[in-house]
Amino acid sequence: MFMRVDKLQAELPVPKKADPNAAAALQELLGGKYGEMSTLNNYMFQSFNFRSKEKLRPFYSLVAAITAEELGHVELVSNGIAMLANGPDKKDGDAGDGGDISDAPFADMSDMRLAAAFLSNGGGATPVNSNGVSWNNDFVTTTGNVVTDLLHNFHLECGARLHKLRVYETLTDPTGREVCGYLLVRGSVHAHAYALALKQITGVAIEKMLPTPNINLDKIPECQKYLQEGSHRRLYTFSPDDYREMAGIWGNGEMALPGDPPGELEVVDGMPEGGKIHQLTGVPSAFTPDYAPEEMFEIATKLYKASR
Ligand code: MN
Ligand code: MN
């Protein structure tokens, strides 16, 4: 089962300006081949299909717990995309109606790379890549063979790291850069974890291939806060009671990678502290949440009071 918590895994800074093309670049980290939809669905279906779960508990727990984290990454990137598309909060967004819409208020949007992100999705995220091509099931590998699946996951996390570094290099806005910085730290943890799992089974010290690509996280300013907190040494169970068995792989005297701040690896019960979900205000002229939302707000206020 999954439990949902109404927070993000990291707090995102408010964008300086609306930048739908930057939002489109960030889409690569959501719906690209190595994006969060891919990591989520690979680990999720591998964990569903896992054979001999009880006998292979540490390996099963690792894949199952990381699945939950990846679902939160899908949420984080999606929020970042919507924030970049939306820009700074419009003070009057939740007051009044959409006004006169007859003079093409969104003429600029016809020039945006992903025009459908506005025209169909109201400035929100969808599981497509930076060119608007749909994420699809062909990106999912679940062979039933534990070594092959773990090798695939190791490759996927290294590919994701490459994706994130390139997207990071295209962005100037703090929102998108923070998404990349946080996910680079967490993706590096996952690559390390899958390497250690493979080492336990095969005896091959695959973690010596890390970091791939060969750049340490200390070169990226947005990663520093998370490194100082020790995020690069932690795996979370994302569960009140389950999945602690992965500590046999992530722990057990294993240390942080040589290029990162030193320390022992640890499994943490539950989830990171995280940050608040940014409240996107309405854009009545784009009919989000509607052209004249006043009555809708009133109904919701009544329902909220009735629930207390
Ligand atoms: Mn991820
Ligand atoms: Mn990952």
**Percent above pLDDT 90 for the chain:** 96
pLDDT tens digit string along 192-206? Answer: 999 999 999 999 999
Cα–Cα distance list, 251 to 58, 233, 245, 283 (Å): 11, 9, 10, 48
Ligand 2 center from residue 190 Cα (angstroms):
5
Q: How many Å apart are CA 232 and CA 226, to the nearest integer?
A: 7
Ligand 1 center from residue 301 Cα (angstroms):
36
The predicted pLDDT at position 181 comes to 98
Diameter of the chain by CA atoms? 68
The predicted pLDDT at position 90 comes to 73
**Percent above pLDDT 70 for the chain:** 100
The predicted pLDDT at position 232 comes to 98
For the chain, domain boundaries: 20-89+100-277
**8 Å CB contact between 22 and 84:** yes
Nearest C-alpha neighbor of 168 from the set 72, 24, 16, 25 = 25
**8 Å CB contact between 9 and 72:** yes
Which bound ligand lies closest to the C-alpha atom of 153?
2
Ligand 2 center from residue 153 Cα (angstroms):
9
> Average of pLDDT values for 56-60?
98
The predicted pLDDT at position 12 comes to 97
Which bound ligand lies closest to the C-alpha atom of 189?
2
Count of Cβ atoms closer than 10 Å to residue 234 Cβ: 18
Ligand 1 center from residue 174 Cα (angstroms):
19
> Average of pLDDT values for 25-45?
98
Ligand 2 center from residue 98 Cα (angstroms):
41
Token code pair at residue 217 = 């996280």
Q: How many Å apart are CA 8 and CA 52, to the nearest integer?
A: 33
Dihedral in degrees, nearest 10, Cα atoms 71, 76, 81, 87: 160
The predicted pLDDT at position 96 comes to 84
> Average of pLDDT values for 288-295?
94
pLDDT tens digit string along 239-289? Answer: 999 999 999 999 999 999 999 999 999 999 999 999 999 999 999 999 999
Mean pLDDT of the chain: 96
In terms of residues, how long is the chain?
308
Which residues on neighbouring strands pair with residue 268, listed in sequence order?
Answer: 236
Hey, what CATH class is 20-89+100-277 in? mainly alpha
